Structure 1
Amino acid sequence: MNSQQSNQLIQGEMLDVIGSIAPQSINLLYLDPPFAAGRVFADSAGAFDDRWQGGLTEYLAWLEQRLVAARRIVAEHGSLFLHLDRRAVHYAKVLLDQTWGFECFRNEIIWHYTGGGRARRSFSHKHDTILWYSKHPQHWTFNLQAMRQPYKASSGFAKAGIRSAAGKRYLPHPDGTPVDDVWDIPMLNPMAAERLGYPTQKPERLLERIILAASNSGDLVADLCCGSGTTAAVAQRLGRCWIAADQSADALALVRGRLRQQAAEWQETLIQPQPASFAAKR
């Protein structure tokens, strides 16, 4: 890791945390904010309130304020990955096109998963959407080689030199096929070893793919709605520096325990809320 950077664990509301971070210092910013779900999420190790008294209008004003502010802290060749779902991602896409620039839009990533409940009056909801924007319209980090995955045996490419019925010889890339923008990564099941009991906890495999794709060893990765600390844990394992922030003391207690198991070292900061901030939600 870069010796001039130190890992940071921050308790504070996202907008206030953004204001405390140096300009253009973050190489990869992953944001997993509330989804405007209209309910309280609770599990054995934590909870957060995703209800909005002013409805969608209040939520979008809250989100826009933070997306605009976040651009200042992302490095010139850095990236933002914004994780939402069907309820508000289309509004967020417009907000980001207006504030970060349509020319900086890189990908709409579909995280497809199975499990969970089944809808009775509509198609079941089995994906989230992650919007990737670069800070610069022409230059950004993308590690294609790190994004290759093994060929499936059923694909016909599993073995180099295989011939089709027509006699065509397939010469696949030795490291596998490039990853596309639909990611089939399972959600954490109740018995998963990495599950900590925090609501909406994301799997390490999902964050590993993002971090490997859009950052390099020693880069600074930030998650300002860190919840259970998956981003920080994966960044630590992959040799990145990290900033993990959340307004919840319970969430940060969970993160501390998780990172201690990795023998991580960090500095801690408590940021008092500023009166001008919208009501904190996570």
Structure 2
Amino acid sequence: MTGLPAPSAPPTWRADGANLVVHADNAEYLATLPDAAFTMIYVDPPFNTGRAQRRQQTTMVRAVDGAGDRVGFKGLSYSTVKGMLASYDDAFEDYWDFLVPRLAEAWRLLADDGTLYLHLDYREVHYAKVMLDVLFGRDCFLNEIIWAYDYGARAKRRWPAKHDNILVYVKNPSAYYFNSDEVDREPYMAPGLVTAEKAALGKLPTDVWWHTIVSPTGREKTGYPTQKPEGLLRRAVAASSRKDDWVLDFFAGSGTLGAVAGKLGRRFVCVDRNPQAIEVMRERLAPWT
């Protein structure tokens, strides 16, 4: 998949406009979007698995109250917490200088009833929880979702790591949208312990989601290396947005959020700077763009 040009002037988003696949640097493009435009934002950034990132910071963290450093729980500022965490891990600062400004933009772009889903793994999630407590406010933490799967190599000297973490934060803990009636239900693990009616209906998922990876031979497979399964994002989109609401993914990769949003009647913006991702998304999301 080659031959795509470098990013040109990205399209302008309009509330009454079309779904968008945007080839751009997300830090630059997010700054062009208006406040409170999205009901749900899903972020699946690089996981920092190499533990050494060297990225230049392109934007400054914006203070939520409009002035000075963002003050979070117990009066701790962003810079104070950042310094404390960096003292424990010398790879921390480079990665989070890259990611935190984008998460601050996510806060700005969320509607008052909006929700952020931040998808990471065990290497970074503990740092992310502290940082989001500062950026959003500790009372805005809603859930930590564990996506459990079963594939890949088997470690023999430790417990094999077979899950990702998804941190869920809301813009306003008194006003966020969540509709469990729209979420797919699961079989009871012990159906004999509930009534036949309940067993037939199934139960709502908990904060542990058992879901297989994208099948290498399935119709959903695009060939993009970090593709996430549609079933995983369907729960988040169904619960945290309504029909015709706008949803955003600014590390969009293969465009799974856009595909799910299109099928569920939501409107979407998918942003990525990788030409291969744009090529995959333009084909995959053609029915809705």
TM-score interval, smaller chain: 0.7 to 0.9
Q: Distance in 2 between matches of 1:130 and 1:185?
A: 14
Do the aligned partners of 2:186 and 2:204 also contact (CA within 8 Å) in 1? no
What SS is found at the alignment partner of 1:129?
Answer: strand
Q: What is the CA distance between 1:106 and its match in structure 2?
A: 0.4
In structure 2, what is the Cα distance between the partners aligned to 1:148 and 1:205?
9
Contact 1:28 1:80 in 2 (8 A): yes
Residue-by-residue CA offset, 1:158-178 (whole Å, 9 max, x unaligned): 752xxxxxxxxxx63874312
Give me the TM-score of the superposition, normalised by structure 2: 0.78
1:218 positional shift: 0.5
In structure 2, how many angstroms separate the alpha carbons of the residues matched to 1:106 and 1:5? 31
Cross-structure match for 2:216: 190
SS in 1 for 2:137: helix
Contiguous gaps of at least 5 residues in structure 2: 1-13, 55-89
Structure showing the higher helix proportion among its residues: 2
Displacement of 1:15 after TM fit?
1.3
Residue identity opposite 1:12 in structure 2: A
Equivalent residue for 2:31, pick from 15, 19, 27: 19
Aligned residue for 2:112, secondary structure, equals strand
Q: What whole-Å deviation, never above 9, does each CA across 1:70-114 have from its counterpart, x for those lacking one?
A: 211111111100000000011000000001011110000000001
Task: Give the structure 2 partner of residue 111 of structure 1.
Answer: 147
**Mapped partners of 2:199, 2:246: distance in 1:** 31
Residue 131 of structure 2 is aligned with which of 67, 87, 95? 95
The Cα of 1:123 is off from its aligned counterpart by 1.2
User: Aligned pair 1:38/2:50, yes or no?
Assistant: yes
Alignment TM-score, normalising by the size of structure 1: 0.80
Q: Which structure would you say has the larger RCO, counting Cα contacts within 8 Å and 6 or more residues apart? A: 1
Q: Which amino acid aligns with 1:259?
A: L
Q: Which protein is richer in strand relative to its size?
A: 1
| Paired letter, 2:135 | T
Helix, strand or coil at the partner of 1:149? coil
1-structure distance, mates of 2:288, 2:184: 28
Q: Which residue of 2 aligns with 1:255?
A: 281
Output the CA distance in 1 between the equivalents of 2:139 and 2:101.
21
Could you say which residue in structure 1 is the equivalent of 2:70?
Answer: none
**Which whole-Å deviations, capped at 9, do the CAs of 1:19-65 have from their partners, x for residues lacking one?**
011110011000000111118xxxxxxxxxxx513732200121111
- Code of the residue aligned with 1:228 in structure 2: it is S
1:204 and 1:234 in contact (8 A); partners too: yes
Gaps of 5+ in 1: 40-50, 161-170, 266-282
Task: Name the structure 2 match of 1:141.
Answer: 177
- RMSD value over aligned CA atoms? 2.0
Distance (Å, rounded) in 2 between the aligned partners of 1:124 and 1:14: 33
